[in-house]
Each structure stands twice: as structure tokens, then as C-alpha cells.
Structure 1
Amino acid sequence: MPIRALDRRRLLHALGLGGAALACGRASAAVEGAAGAPITQGYASSRVGQVYYRMIRPAPGQQGLKTPLLCLHAGPGSSRNYLDLMPRMATDRWVIAADTPGYGLSQRPATPSTIADFAQAASAVVDALGLGRIDVLGNHTSTATALELARMRPGLVRRIVLNSALMYTPQERAERKAAQIANATRDLSAAVDTIPARWRAFRQATAHQSEEQSWGRFWEVYRDPTHQDWGFVASYDYDFAATLAQTRAPVLILNPQDVLHDITARAAGKGPDVRIAELPWPGGTFDLHVDAVTQVIRAFLDT
């Protein structure tokens, strides 16, 4: 599917909006979620720069509110990936979705970050909002961030939901890191030349979404193509298995039938309270199958 002139205009418009939001330092306008729920936006300061977040906060005075949920996205990508999940989870709790530093509308650090840096940035968002206790949801690369946040601040994190688990062996982590670095594109012109092929592949993988939805999420992934591998490299440097084994908070691991299924299955019995939920679909967990996965997440968090 070629990139049409209209698509290019949308790209320029989106990049312009992103630049304006970063320049403002703090955003307060409301945008619409998948079910029409108002989503407010903001920034928090962290040691690696400004961290952007989206949030739905229940009406003041609402009774019976449950523990707030912090959602961390896969990388590359952004909090936009949770626009379908957020309003469904926010009927009885705060839901916050933050952009990892270097992705989405968060500031890109001058040098590559570690998982500890990402966890500190997530912690800064929580503190900026004055939240004393949270549940956290991680997805692929950010599953490491979720565990690290719980390790750094065990009194903050009550329960953890992970979409897949990075249960690589040390050798696998080293091999994947080397391959990621070797295949990275550092020349912007060369990276731009790959966009048509990347869009065709992305659109095929997200055929269940409207073209408009796919287009918006595609540019969240390829917003900064010469640095998009930083999150992957950080996750390969992180000893996920060792941290999981020491995590005291209850952990639910979602295991869809995707490329990480067999790796994720290794997490069975590897922590004090680790549960694995086998999911029958290969993808679309937080959009195509959002109603089903919302029920699974609620059943775990609300007990």
C-alpha cells in the first residue's frame, strides 16, 4: 500500500502537534478515548527528561474506587496503544498510560537509557500525580520496566500484569542485543527509505484496525527511527528472570500465541506468586481482543 499524499500531510500534521506538545512542557487539553471517555494529558519531570502521560480520572467523589492502574507500552510505540483499554478499565479507578523516555511524546535522553531509568521515569509520573499505591501493566519490553519499578519501590506496586515475559537465557539476551545493534539504522535518510515497506508490513499486521488507526499507531512506532532500538537493547541488558524470581507482588502474565509465547512459558513457577493466563489469539490483545483481556485483567486486579 503506497504512502499517498494525504498520508504525508497527516504525518507532517502529527509531527507538528508532537513538537508543539513537547514545547509546551505540560499539556492539559482533553482528547477522546475509544469509548468517548475524556483523557487528560500531562508531563512529569524525571532524571532522563520530561515524561508524557495520558490519564482518565474518575469523577470527584465517586465511591468504591479501586487501585490506580499504570500502563507501560511496548517499545517502540507509545501510550496510544492503550486508548482502547483505558476507558474500559477507568470506570472505577484512575488509569494512567505513560510514554517511555525516547518514545511517543516523552523527551528523548541524550544517551541510551537503562530499564532502571525507564522505571524511574514511570515512578516520577506516579509521584507527580500524588499516587501512593498502584497496579502496573507492562507489555513486551516494558514488562522489564514494570518488574524494576516493583523492585525499586515495593511499597508502591500492589499487583503486576505483564503481556508476555522476557525469559531469555543470558546467551539469548547477548545474541539478541548484538543482532539489534547490528541491524540498527543510524542514518535518517536511509531510515526514511524503509518507511513504505515498513508501512505495508505494519498495515498487514494491523488489518483488524481501520486505516486511520493503523496509520496513527505506525507513526508512534517509527517517530524516531534512528533510536527506536534503544528500548530493546535496554531490555536485553536487564536480567528479567532474576528479578521475576524475587518479585513479591502477585504477577499475572498474559501469554498470547505470538513470537514470545514459548519464551514466556518459561516463567511458570519462577516467582513467589506468578500466574500465567494462556490467551488463544496471536495478536491484537489491547485492541481487537480488548473486551476479553479487560475481563482477564479485572479478575486478577480486583481480587
Structure 2
Amino acid sequence: MAAGSTASPPRRGYVDGPFGQIHYRRTGTGRPLVLVHQAAMDSRQFTAVYGLLAEAGFDAIGIDLPGFGNSDCPPFPPRVEDLAASIVAAIDALGLERFDMAGHHTGAMVATEVALALPERVQRLVLNGPMPLTDAERSAFFADKHLREKEIVPKPGGQHFAEFTAIRERLVAGSLPLETVNSYVLQALGAPSPFWYGHNAGFQYRHEDSLPRLACPTLILTNTGDQIYAHAQRARALRPDMAYAELEGGGVDIIDQQPEAWTKTLTEFLT
């Protein structure tokens, strides 16, 4: 929980989905807000903001995507559309008739698909790090990074933990305590799915095609230090009619780096 928050820690539960059980965290009693995490993490990504969102009047619900956190893994490498179908199943099981959504990175893609599937029920949408891609960018990922991610597997002596810890420490660049970095490593390497499933889904997805079809009020949110900041600008050019906000600095872990500013930006748009 964020420093200064007086809200209770999230309660946890399970609902059934198309690939098994779906795990979620829930805090607050106000307006429902479904939170969708980025790849290689789970609903713990929002730990720093659950309490802040509850205090701002939201019923904050973080859902573990299939194969992440404590949600069961599909028996095949899922696409974003498969991940979104599980989120829809969880939303239905939780009895949410109308709700807001916010997704980060791959979670923004999943949230986009949910909004397209449930246009009468998603009231407002926050895309934190949308990622329309060129064909060259997509091909480069599968020719390089995708293969390297497939090499992140258990190794003798826990070498894979040390290697991935070094990657996460480099991304954090000293902006967060080691305990937080350790949580990132456990979320990524402790997931039921192979590490590469998440970005494999994200880089197959054509956000450049789905963004133009969104009809609900939408905020494009980014931060200047994000690895995909330029893609948010590309999304903004695709949809100049959407609301836009950016935070200064930070990185892929902006929610932990600037929880108060992140929450304030969300709540100002959603309310």
C-alpha cells in the first residue's frame, strides 16, 4: 500500500474463467475500476495504488491475467484476445454491470479488447502505454527479443534469477528499493506460464487496428521515461480526439515510482 494510505489491504478471491480459475485483488466500495497489469507481472503491480484509488472513491479490482500471478495458465500460448476473454468472464462473475478500466502496456491492449467486446458497459478507459507497431518493429521483436525471452528458463544454481534481477535493476535504475525489484522478479519468474507468453501476445496484437475502433471516452496515459513513450505519441496521432496526459520521467514501473501522481491523473479523468 502507498505511504499515507489508510485503506485496508486488498481482499483476494477467485472466479472461474475459460482456462481455469482467475485470481483477483479488490479494495474499496465505490465506483468499479478494473485494473489490468503488464506482461511479466500480475495484479501486485497495483499494490502502491489500491489504497489511494479506494480513498478516491473507487472499487479497485486488479485481475491476474491467465498464466500470471495465481490465475491458471491456458494450455497454449494465448493471444491478447484470449486474455481479454478471461477478463470478461471475471467481470461477469463479479457482477459488474458498468465499470471503468485501466490497463498498463500489455494490459492496455487487453483493456482495449474488453472495451470493444463490452461497449455498453465500459464507461471510461485508461490506456497507460498503448503500443501501435509498425510491421518492421513487430518482425524485429520475433527475430530477436522473442527468442531471448524463450531462454529465460530455470537454470542450475538459480542463475536465471540473478540474470533477470540484473535486468530489472537496470530498468529501475535505483529509483525503487530492492524489495520492490525482488517482487518484480518473483512475479515474472513465479508465474504459471512460460516467461515469453506475455510479450508474445502483446507483439502479435495490432493496437494500430483496434485503437481507431474504440468509442468510449479514453485517456492515453504515458510517462516520458517509458520505453514505449514514442508509441504513445503514435497512438495520440491515431486518435487525437482522445484525452492525453503524461507524467515526467519514470520508466516501465511508473505506478510504483509515482503512485500519487499516477492515481491523481487517473481519477481526474475518470471522475
Q: CA deviation at 1:279?
A: 1.6
SS of 1:38 mapped into structure 2: coil
Aligned CA RMSD, in angstroms, stands at 2.1
Q: Residue type matched to 1:232 in 2? A: H
Equivalences, count: 263
Q: 2:161 aligns with which of 170, 175, 195?
A: 195
Q: In structure 2, do the counterparts of structure 1 residues 186 and 211 end up closer, same or farther at CA, with 3 Å as the change threshold?
A: closer
Q: 1:82 aligns with which of 41, 46, 49?
A: 46
**Structure possessing the higher radius of gyration over alpha carbons:** 1
Per-residue CA deviation, residues 161-195 of structure 1 (Å, 9 max, x unaligned), is: 11111111133223213323322127533794232
Within 5 Å, which residues of 2 pair with 1:1-303?
A: 33-34=1-2, 35=5, 36-58=7-29, 65-66=30-31, 68-91=32-55, 92-183=57-148, 184-185=150-151, 187-189=153-155, 192-206=158-172, 207-224=174-191, 227-257=194-224, 258-271=226-239, 273-283=241-251, 284-302=253-271
Q: Residue type matched to 1:40 in 2? A: R
**Cα pair 1:185 1:226 within 8 Å, conserved:** no
Q: In structure 2, do the counterparts of structure 1 residues 93 and 187 end up closer, same or farther at CA, with 3 Å as the change threshold?
A: closer
Unpaired runs of 5+ in structure 1?
1-32, 59-64
Q: CA deviation at 1:204?
A: 4.8
Cα separation, 2, equivalents of 1:280 and 1:187: 35
**Cα pair 1:161 1:297 within 8 Å, conserved:** yes
SS of 2:220 mapped into structure 1: strand
Q: CA deviation at 1:146?
A: 0.6
**Cα pair 1:247 1:271 within 8 Å, conserved:** no
Per-residue CA deviation, residues 54-73 of structure 1 (Å, 9 max, x unaligned), is: 00132xxxxxx43x100000
SS of 2:254 mapped into structure 1: coil
Unpaired runs of 5+ in structure 2?
none
**Cα pair 1:186 1:226 within 8 Å, conserved:** no
**Cα pair 1:70 1:95 within 8 Å, conserved:** yes
Q: Residue type matched to 1:245 in 2? A: P
Q: Following superposition, which runs of at least 4 residues in structure 1 exceed 4 angstroms of deviation?
A: none
Cα separation, 1, equivalents of 2:196 and 2:156: 15
Q: In structure 2, do the counterparts of structure 1 residues 201 and 235 end up closer, same or farther at CA, with 3 Å as the change threshold?
A: closer
Percent of paired sites with the same residue: 27
SS of 1:179 mapped into structure 2: helix
SS of 1:94 mapped into structure 2: strand
Q: In structure 2, do the counterparts of structure 1 residues 271 and 47 end up closer, same or farther at CA, with 3 Å as the change threshold?
A: same
Cα separation, 2, equivalents of 1:251 and 1:299: 12
TM score, norm. by length of structure 1: 0.80
SS of 1:101 mapped into structure 2: coil
SS of 1:95 mapped into structure 2: strand
